[in-house]
Amino acid sequence: MGLLFAGIGIGLLVGILPGLSGTVGMSLVLPFVFGMDPGDALALLMGMVAVIHTADTFPSVLLGVPGSSGSQATIVDGYPMARNGEASRALAAAFFSSMVGGILGALVLFLILPVARPLVLALGSPELFMLTLLGLATVGVLSGTRPILGILAGLLGLLIGAVGAAPAVPHYRYTFDSLYLFDGVSLPVLALGLFALPELLDLLIGKQRIARGAVLVGGWLQGFRDVIQHRWLVARCSILGVVIGLVPGLGGSVVDWISYGHAVQSAPDRERFGKGDVRGVIGPESSNNAKEGGTLVPTLLFGIPGSGTTAVLLGGLGILGLQAGPAMLTTHLDATLVIIWTLAIANVFGTMACLLPSRLIARISLVPAVRLAPFLIVVMLAGAYQSTRHWGDLFAFFAIGLLGWVMKQTGWPRPPLLIGFVLAAASERYLWISWSRYGWSWLLHPGVVVLGVLTLIFLVGGIRMGGRLGKTGDV
Amino acid sequence: MTGPSANSRSLGSASTLRVPAWLWIGLSCLVVAGCAEAPDLGERAVGEVYRGELLRIMVPFGPGGGSDTWARLIAPHLQRHLPEGARIQVVNVPGATSVAGANEYALRTRPDGRTIFVSAGSTFFVYLLGEPMVRYEFRDLEPLLASPSGGVVFVRPDLGVSSPRELSRVGERLLYGGISATGNDLLPLLAFEILGLEVTPILGYTSKGATRIAFQQGETNIEYQTTPAYLTNVVPLVEAGEAVPLFSFGMVDGQGQVIPDPAAPDLPTVADAYRAIHGRAPSGAAWEAYVAVLAAGVTMQKVLWIRQEAPASAVAELREAIADLIEDPAFLEPARRQLGDYPFLLADEIDEALRAGVGMSPEALEWLKDFLRERFQVDRI
């Protein structure tokens, strides 16, 4: 139990610091795992994994800086809420839905464990490719009044994602013989540069503070009430989180965007999205904790990590003498159950740990940007440099920051660029494999057809909705 | 690079560098200011060199992968065999399939004996093929320890074959899923070529775990896994009648001969499979290239190196500690569980295997490059 709390503590810290991902947290605790009792070690590892996406909401909401890859969609509405002075309400809603999502996620994971194997095996490369298209289609939802700009930004993201080694053949694109570019642009650098730097620049230029008004409105209770009022949204997004999370090699990074898209499309009134609608916070937050349960399925049953975090978890399991594979459901079932229930318990404690100081921390939004900026710039630079620890990270950070600022000034939507970037490698990879394996015939696979229709609905719905939506807010 | 070194004591033994450096930058600055120049290890006697010192193992891949797990398995045990107060820290320098880390080790670390390096099969492959980004030279490094890891080729039962000889009659129905032609997949692709199998390679999967799923889905029907993964994940499939093992890659012994894989001794090797299909022993440039790639990718799948310019006393002390390590049951038991039942190789045996691998004849190298250029559009070599 003590180790569970140690894990929770580390997870919260890693989540709060922007640009740090679960992979870093995992490598931080891994050395301690040697020689530990497997039950204790699993509590430590899972305690950390479970709460990262709870704590990462702080920077997303308060500063408009994605705390980790799981809370990118939260900034679309969470940060405008902070600007409206509703930081406490946004945080409480986020934490509460994170907790419910985390617990529901663990529960769903427990229930689908027996059928998870055939489910994963049903998703071949063509189906995975269609899932990346579905993720890209949320672009239509996110780009507000001018879908064409959203689509162009998404394509630009795909292009930036193409930098570096091609997925299947040893060709290098746009690397200019620089070893740094061989691996492409790193996600934390892109996310920080795209969202955080432009935000900070504008706050400084306007000599503003984050909350426009001088007082904070709305509090905890309001946040709780929001979650209870939108309980079905929480439930749907949690299930979405688990299901998308269990898709190997894709899940983690798109889940929050897809649930954001779902939150917008299922809402009867959409005017306030992008300007601080609490549903835009609840959707992604309930799914990003739930997905941790989902990503465990490919990790535990097939030995395939669903995210960087689970890749290191896999290493940790190896150290404990547990080999991921079908045996996790038979001989090692006890370990699997420890993992699932630790996930649920850690979610509860993680939420409490975040909720208690949140009222105080929300006051950051009242600090003038001039005083906040030096601290934030150091944190962002460290976060960017941390991703590959190469000087190139700093150059890339400023270059992308400039791009992000120009996009913000000229009213181009930035989330589609991020989605395009995240999905670039996966969509190219699975299209290539589908083509070289099946030729044209993969287009007729039943799964492909179903996902294709869904994608079309998303796209058409997004474009039609665009006409009715007001101008997008801060992001 | 310097951040966490000063605080690893508080972190425990085998720590990592991919941790939030700024948390400790302040602390480290204080410590660095306190001890301006690190003492020269070369002035100490063997048995004293690493007393109270920090030894870093540089891994050219991110945390969680095979090389990282290997280094983290060894680190705490090796630390026990070094003098009192020595600490070992695993440092990840990922990038460009290990070229970035290997370049950094060979060109930018100080040859003071405080940093050693782990290479993987792919570190050798890009070197053998003359990838232009490679700036390191294995001849400037001293091998300390090597750990082999073989591979087993298996097929789906619906192909209806049970031996390599039957496999050669299947025709064009064979589909192989891999990651990239210049990575570890080079070995199976060469094996298929030598055996004369008509295999359609489908490259671009993210990992050998993803190709295993593709195999189970029927997206592919011929597949290989490294022996440890084969034993834990594929043997259950074989027992359930969902996979049929056909042959192993084998291993290269000191004389350059291909011998059975010690972890899968009952399976024929590629050499045996060739004999079964063609009725004679394999030979020629293609076979020579296969043996070289086998030596680099299997016999020396993971190698621990130190810079040649490192102090002789440091190298001697590390060699002693490693010789003790590979006799230590407390290390061998978890090692066998995780890496499979392979012997560890020390410097002399590695040198022999190196000659078989790195010393490929010009004809064989040319054949290999032509094979990759013509069949896999590899145009950088």
Cα separation, B85 vs B44, whole angstroms = 15
Residue from the list A124, A168, A326 with its beta carbon closest to the beta carbon of B203: A168
The set of residues, in sequence order, having a beta carbon less than 8 Å from that of B196 and lying 6+ positions away, is B168, B277, B278
Give the CA count within 13 Å in the CB-facing half-sphere of A286.
Answer: 29
Q: Which residue has the higher pLDDT, A19 or A37?
A: A37
pLDDT, position A20: 66
Q: Are A47 and A283 in contact (CB under 8 A)?
A: no
From A242's Cα to the closest Cα of chain B, the distance in A is 20
- Contacting residues of A for B182, CB less than 8 Å apart: 170
pLDDT, position B335: 85
- Contacting residues of B for A305, CB less than 8 Å apart: 64, 209
Contact assignment for A27 to B92 by CB distance below 8 Å: yes
CB neighbours (10 Å) of residue A236? 18
Contact assignment for B213 to A121 by CB distance below 8 Å: yes
Q: Report the residue of chain A nearest B135, measured CA to CA.
A: A179
A&B contacts, CB < 8 Å: 175
Domain tally for chain A? 1
Q: Report the residue of chain B nearest A304, measured CA to CA.
A: B209
Structure tokens at B190: 């060469």
| Closest alpha carbon to B364 in B226, B231, B241, B256 | B256
Contact assignment for A437 to B202 by CB distance below 8 Å: yes
pLDDT surpasses 60 at B24: no
Domain annotation for chain B: domains and CATH numbers? 42-148+300-343 (3.40.190.150), 151-297+363-376 (3.40.190.10)
pLDDT single digits (tens) B70-109: 888 898 899 999 988 888 888 888 777 788 889 889 888 8
Report the amino acid identity of residue B271. Answer: A
Structure tokens at A11: 């997870």
Q: Are B339 and B228 in contact (CB under 8 A)?
A: yes
Contact assignment for B334 to A321 by CB distance below 8 Å: yes
Cα separation, A393 vs A382, whole angstroms = 10
Q: Report the residue of chain A nearest B126, measured CA to CA.
A: A170
pLDDT band for B152, please (50, 70, 90 cuts): very high
Q: Which residue has the higher pLDDT, B27 or B174?
A: B174
- Contacting residues of B for A26, CB less than 8 Å apart: 63-64
Q: Which residue has the higher pLDDT, B229 or B328?
A: B328
The set of residues, in sequence order, having a beta carbon less than 8 Å from that of A72 and lying 6+ positions away, is A60, A66, A191, A256, A257, A284, A415, A418
Q: Report the residue of chain A nearest B210, measured CA to CA.
A: A304
Contact assignment for B16 to A315 by CB distance below 8 Å: no
Q: How many residues does chain A have?
A: 475
pLDDT single digits (tens) B189-228: 999 999 999 999 998 887 787 888 899 989 999 999 988 7
- Contacting residues of A for B378, CB less than 8 Å apart: 169-170
Contact assignment for A179 to B103 by CB distance below 8 Å: yes
pLDDT, position A371: 80
CB neighbours (10 Å) of residue A23? 24
- Contacting residues of B for A171, CB less than 8 Å apart: 377, 379
- Contacting residues of B for A169, CB less than 8 Å apart: 180-181, 203, 376-378
Over residues B238-254, mean pLDDT: 91
Contact assignment for B182 to A170 by CB distance below 8 Å: yes
Q: What pTM does this model have?
A: 0.79
Query: If DSSP codes are grouped into helix, strand and coil, which group holds residue B206?
Result: coil
Residue from the list A168, A172, A311 with its beta carbon closest to the beta carbon of B204: A168
pLDDT, position A428: 87
CA distances from residue A419 to A132, A153, A407, B176 in whole angstroms, order as listed: 10, 9, 15, 31
pLDDT single digits (tens) A338-372: 888 888 888 888 888 888 888 788 887 888 877 87
Q: What is chain B's alpha carbon radius of gyration, rounded to the nearest angstrom?
A: 22
Q: Which residue has the higher pLDDT, A303 or A264?
A: A264
Cα separation, B273 vs B196, whole angstroms = 11
Residue from the list A179, A248, A303 with its beta carbon closest to the beta carbon of B100: A179
pLDDT single digits (tens) A121-157: 888 889 888 888 887 887 766 766 677 888 888 899 9
Residue from the list B15, B96, B206 with its beta carbon closest to the beta carbon of A31: B15
Contact assignment for B214 to A323 by CB distance below 8 Å: no
Interface test with A, best of B202, B333, B375 (most A CBs within 10 A): B202
Q: Report the residue of chain A nearest B101, measured CA to CA.
A: A179
Which residue range is the domain that position A11 belongs to? 2-472
Q: Report the residue of chain A nearest B378, measured CA to CA.
A: A170
Pairing between strand B199-203 and B174-178? parallel
pLDDT surpasses 50 at B12: no
Interface test with B, best of A28, A45, A48, A378 (most B CBs within 10 A): A28
Per residue, the 3-state secondary structure of B120-151, as one string, reads EHHHHHHHHCCCCCCCCCHHHEEEEEEECCCE
Cα separation, A231 vs A355, whole angstroms = 19
With 0-12 / 13-18 / 19 or more C-beta atoms within 10 angstroms meaning exposed / middle / buried, residue A162 is middle
Q: How many helices (H) and strands (E) does chain A have?
A: 20, 2
Interface test with A, best of B5, B104, B129, B203 (most A CBs within 10 A): B203
pLDDT, position B32: 43
Burial A9-18 (b: 16+ CB within 10 A, else e): bbbbbbbbbb
The set of residues, in sequence order, having a beta carbon less than 8 Å from that of B43 and lying 6+ positions away, is none
pLDDT surpasses 50 at A475: no
Query: If DSSP codes are grouped into helix, strand and coil, which group holds residue A209?
Result: strand
Q: Which residue has the higher pLDDT, A420 or A323?
A: A420
- Contacting residues of B for A22, CB less than 8 Å apart: none
Q: Are B339 and B95 in contact (CB under 8 A)?
A: no
Over residues A179-207, mean pLDDT: 81
Helix H or strand E segment including B177: strand B174-178
Cα separation, A314 vs A92, whole angstroms = 33
CA distances from residue B341 to A119, A197, B112, B338 in whole angstroms, order as listed: 34, 52, 34, 9
Q: Are B257 and B154 in contact (CB under 8 A)?
A: no
Residue from the list A23, A124, A311 with its beta carbon closest to the beta carbon of B217: A124
pLDDT, position B36: 44
The set of residues, in sequence order, having a beta carbon less than 8 Å from that of B28 and lying 6+ positions away, is B2, B3, B4, B5, B6, B7
Interface test with A, best of B9, B17, B22 (most A CBs within 10 A): B22
Give the phi and the psi of residue A330 in degrees, each rounded to 5: -115, -85
From A220's Cα to the closest Cα of chain B, the distance in A is 31
pLDDT, position B95: 74
pLDDT surpasses 70 at A22: no
